[in-house]
A and B are shown apart, each in its own frame.
Chain A
Amino acid sequence: MRFAWPKARAASAQRVNRRERLLAAADFYFAINATFRFILQNYGEEALHRYWRALGAEYYAPLADRFRTGGLDEVARYWTAFFAAEPGGDVSVAREKDEVILTVRECPAIRWLRLHNREICPGYCQHCRHVSTAIAENAGMRFTLTGGGGTCEQTFSLRDGESPA
């Protein structure tokens, strides 16, 4: 399955941005958490990893295209706008010479789930590793993650031997 974003997206960017803002309802974190748990409990850990990888490779294929075309500057732009739009959290995005570093002091999703006493699906934080690794690989980049439990550091960097865009 591979779903392209059509040209209409660019044409309606202004309206889409409004909708994206309106739709950033934090309760959706409940559904993301429940989705992970459903796959984990019914089909196992490997199946959950496959779901995350497929999501990164297919749903986020247009994002990988953006990263491939725009390089690390686009990576920094995307994540800066992303965390500005997510409800809550405390994240900084730093564009370094050969990498972009996301410093997550308080993850918006983990914060919301804890705030509402939701049982967080085991391995929840690993979705960032799997989804972003798939995106980075499609963009010709590398992704690393250290930490977890609401506090982590994520890095997008160019593969060895590739020059920054």
Chain B
Amino acid sequence: MIGVQDFCGHYDWTFAYLRHTYGEAALQRYWAEAIAFDSQRHAYELIRDKGFDGMEAYWGHTLTQEEAGYAITRTEDVFRIDMHDCPSKGFLIENGLAAYDDYCAHCMGWIGPVAQRAGFTIDHEHNHRGQCWWQLYRPDEAADLNAARAKAGDKNVELRPDWRRGDRHVYRQCRQMPPEHEDSPDAAT
């Protein structure tokens, strides 16, 4: 039986298998369709129907269930997550597993489509060390992104001394930025 106790291990292996067997586009479609709207349809329904409250209900439940080290910050127009100790990536790191070369990409792979279909967009960074941040907001509103970052205070993962030690991948409005992208002026240093 395939269990949930080592789920992140065979999930990571499956990413590599799908890309190797069917190509990168198939893997992206797997995240955007199967994970986003089949597996995680409860997340989509919560976010679509309840907006930020739905996000808090979903991630509050999920991240608590996984006992992740994280913080949620809300302002009037931004929902922010600071992840300090991702249990999923942490499992892979501790077990030396890296079948797929960018495991962290799967989160944007499914959360991006869910957020967009529900009327939101996302700014996001991950550093491949089990740390990342997310800001979800309505793209058609002038969201104050710095206010959420400031409100996060010392929970802001970007303030960690080791934040920049990892290989950071940067997304703006759900699109991955080129590797040389060193962030917008609003980013913490």
Contacts and interface: CB of A to CB of B under 8 A. Distances in A.
Interface of A: 1, 3, 5-6, 8-9, 12, 15-16, 19-35, 37-38, 42-43, 51, 54-55, 58-59, 82, 85-87, 107-109, 116, 127-128, 131-132
B5 interface: yes
Per CB-CB distance, the 6 closest pairs between chain A and chain B, nearest first, are A38-B34, A34-B39, A34-B38, A28-B4, A6-B96, A28-B7
Given A5-B95, A28-B7, A42-B26, A35 B34 contact: yes
Interface residues of B, number: 40
B95 A23 contact: no
A3 B13 CA distance: 9
Interface stretch (B83-91, B152-160, B162-170): B83-91
Contacts, number: 127
Contacts of A32: 2, 4, 7
Interface string B66-79: 11000000000000
Given A6-B95, A22-B87, A34-B39, 15 more contacts: A1-B16, A3-B13, A8-B95, A12-B94, A24-B3, A24-B5, A25-B62, A28-B11, A31-B7, A32-B2, A32-B4, A59-B99, A86-B3, A86-B4, A109-B2
Contacts of B17: 1, 51, 54-55
Contacts of B62: 25, 27
Contact of B39 (A30, A51, A82, A108): A30
Contacts of A38: 30, 33-34, 38
